[in-house]
Amino acid sequence: MSQPHQQPGWGAQPQEAPQPQPPKKSKTGKTLGFGCLGVFAVIVVIGVIGAVAGGDGDDGAKGDKGDKAATVNDKPESGEAKKDQPAQDKASQAEQFKACVAKGGSASEKAAAKHVTKVSGADKNNDVLDAAEVFTDFTGGIAGPHAPQGKLIASAFGSCYDSQNGLVTVYDKSGEILSNGNY
């Protein structure tokens, strides 16, 4: 015969003991975390309010100092102060270079330097990679008849200016390279 239909858990086979329920989690950690977060938020708000209130006083003090510096620097220079500036500040880089060669260069360097029309980059030295350019009224480029004068100009430039890693390039009037050298 067939056995009567048994309900699960009501059979003849013994069941395992029911699992005990896990203990209830305490809420103290969560409460403590939100409590610390609240304290931190209050400190941040107080800090922001203090910065805003204290910032107004600082801006005024900085403005006063800036105004004093501006008034000192905004004074127009008198005619006497302008006359006291050295002539080299007013001279172009080409004129400064020619003056340096005229003072300490050889006769052939002086003759070659008379053909210099423009100098750029001589005032910017950072000793990393300084690149100066000297423009002349010579023609012919690096293989032309004035290449030796280009070498003389590059050499004279090295005597006048000093850099750890400087490179001077001498150009003819059409923009072709006459010479280059280190300075």
Question: Residues 117-175: pLDDT tens digits?
Answer: 999 988 877 777 889 999 999 998 889 999 999 999 999 999 999 888 899 999 999 99
Q: In what order do the strands lie in the sheet with 130-136?
A: 116-120, 130-136, 166-171, 177-182
d(CA 156, CA 104): 9
Decide if 16 is inside a domain: no
Return the percentage of the chain with pLDDT > 70, whole number.
66
- Establish if 125 belongs to a structural domain: yes
Q: Is residue 166 part of a domain?
A: yes
Question: How many whole angstroms separate alpha carbon 176 and alpha carbon 28?
Answer: 83
What range defines the domain where residue 95 resides?
90-182
pLDDT at position 162 is 87
Domain total of the chain: 1
More confident residue, 15 or 85: 15
Is 58 contained in some domain? no
d(CA 124, CA 127): 9
Task: Note the pLDDT tens digit of each residue in 55-69.
Answer: 554 444 444 444 444
Task: Round the average pLDDT of the chain to a whole number and report it.
Answer: 76
In a domain, 151, yes or no: yes
Contact 180, 169 (CB under 8 A): yes
174, two tokens: 């059409």
pTM above 0.85, yes or no: no
Query: Where are the alpha helices (H) located in the chain, listed in sequence order?
Result: 28-73, 79-84, 87-90, 93-104, 107-113, 147-160
Has residue 167 been placed in a domain?
yes
In a domain, 62, yes or no: no
Residue 21 lies in a domain: no
Residue 46 confidence class, pLDDT cut points 50, 70, 90: confident
Q: How far apart are CA 137 and CA 139, in angstroms?
A: 7
